[in-house]
Amino acid sequence: ENREVPSVKKRLDMKRLDCALNAAIASDITFLLGRTISIFRDFKAHPGLYEKLGIPWYKDVLVIAKYTIIILFVTLAIKLVVRIKMKRQ
C-alpha cells in the first residue's frame, strides 16, 4: 500500500506536466498568430515606412516563426517523453 502512494503522486505530477506543456504549446501558437496580426496591421497602417526601409513586412514574422517552431519542437519532444513515461506507469 505504501508503494502505491508515490506512484499515484508521480502519475499526478506527470499529468500536471502534460497539462503545462499543452498550455505552453497553445501560448506559443497564440503568440505567433497575435504577433503576425500585429505586424500585418502595422504594415497596413504604415506601408511607406516599410518601403523606405526596404524590408518586406513579413521578415519579422519569419524570424518569430523560426524561434516558435524551435520552441514547439522542444516542447513536443518533452511531451512525447512524458506521455511514454505515463504509459509505462
> For residue 42, is it within any domain?
yes
Q: Is residue 3 part of a domain?
A: no
In a domain, 4, yes or no: no
How many structural domains comprise the chain?
A: 1
Examine residue 22 and state whether it is found in any structural domain, yes or no.
yes
Residue-wise pLDDT for 25-82, tens only, equals 999 999 999 999 999 999 999 999 999 989 899 999 999 999 999 999 999 999 999 9
Which residue has better confidence, 68 or 87?
68
Q: Give dist(CA 13, CA 36) in Å, integer.
A: 35
Q: How far is CA 61 from the centre of its chain?
A: 15
Give dist(CA 22, CA 26) in Å, integer: 6
Residue 1 lies inside a defined structural domain of this protein: no
Q: Which residue range forms the structural domain that includes residue 82?
A: 10-88
Q: What is the pLDDT of residue 5?
A: 61
**Predicted structure pTM score:** 0.77
Within a domain: 28: yes
Is residue 68, in this structure, part of any structural domain at all? yes
